[in-house]
Amino acid sequence: MTKETEQAANPDQDVRVPRTAPPAVSPTAPPAASRTAHLRRSTHESTVEVELNLDGRGDSQISTGVRFYDHMLASLAKHSLFDLRIQATGDVDVDAHHTVEDVAIVLGDAFNEALGDKRGISRFGDATVPLDEALVQAVVDVAGRPYVVHTGEPEGQAYVMIGDRYVGSLTRHVLESFAHHGGIALHVRVLSGRDPHHVVEAQFKAVARALRAAVALDPRVKGIPSAKGSL
């Protein structure tokens, strides 16, 4: 007996119909598929493991061997509300460069994977964030068209050591590696700043806030937010 005929034969089936409507899905609820990624990448220069949840609370557990970079990545998680776990080991005895870059690459890949088909997202994000005297604007389009425009760092910023392993030139390199692997058009404009630590940290915070806005689910967006129909 098919389900249909069974129902037709037994009108009492009606009692199974819920008397009250099921709870409405909150417009801010994450989509059914969780927006997470867990990646691991190993080269002769580093081993990097990244776990990312775009619908997190800003919790992080970061260990890259470059303490200032850990501080920046924790800030990125905090202000994007992503949950982020990064465990990286690399040849930081040579230079922090390989490890810092490889973490940014895997983080970008993880972002791209976690975002999935980008259904229902806001897509664009824009944030201007101060840190004392430093002020940074970050604008993103997470549509899968990698591009980076990075301007305005104070003269000499690229050559300043921050902490014992992070040199200022790495900031642009991180933004480029992350954006290229994450499929993000990223504009970062340092509008003002003097303290090298603040200049970097304000950039990470602004990028975090812009990403948070871009990945946010907008209940008015039906499907993929592109006139092309795919991103």
Between 138 and 184, name the residue whose CB sits nearer to Mn ion.
138
By beta-carbon proximity to Mn ion, the closer residue of 70 and 201 is 201
Determine whether 121 is exposed, middle or buried from the number of CB atoms within 10 Å of its CB (0-12, 13-18, 19+).
buried
Q: Record the tokens describing residue 61, joined without a space.
A: 């557990």
Provide, rounded to whole angstroms, the least separation between the CB of residue 136 and Mn ion.
14
- State in angstroms the smallest separation of the CB of 56 from Mn ion: 21
User: Helix 97-115 crosses helix 67-80 at what angle (to 10 degrees)?
Assistant: 20
Distance (Å, whole) CA 187 – CA 152: 11
To Mn ion, the closest distance from the beta carbon of 75 in angstroms equals: 7
Min dist CB 174 to Mn ion, Å, is 16
68/82 with CB nearer Mn ion? 68
- Phi-psi map region of 33: left, alpha, beta (phi>0 left; psi -120 to 50 alpha): beta
CB of 198 to Mn ion, least distance (A): 7
Give the three-class secondary structure for 89. Answer: strand
In Å, how far are 33, 84, 211, 229 from 78, measured between CA atoms? 23, 9, 12, 32
Q: Which residues bind Mn ion (CB under 5 A)?
A: 201
Smaller CB distance to Mn ion: residue 36 or 60?
A: 60
- Give whichever of 115 and 167 is closer to Mn ion, judged by the CB atom: 167
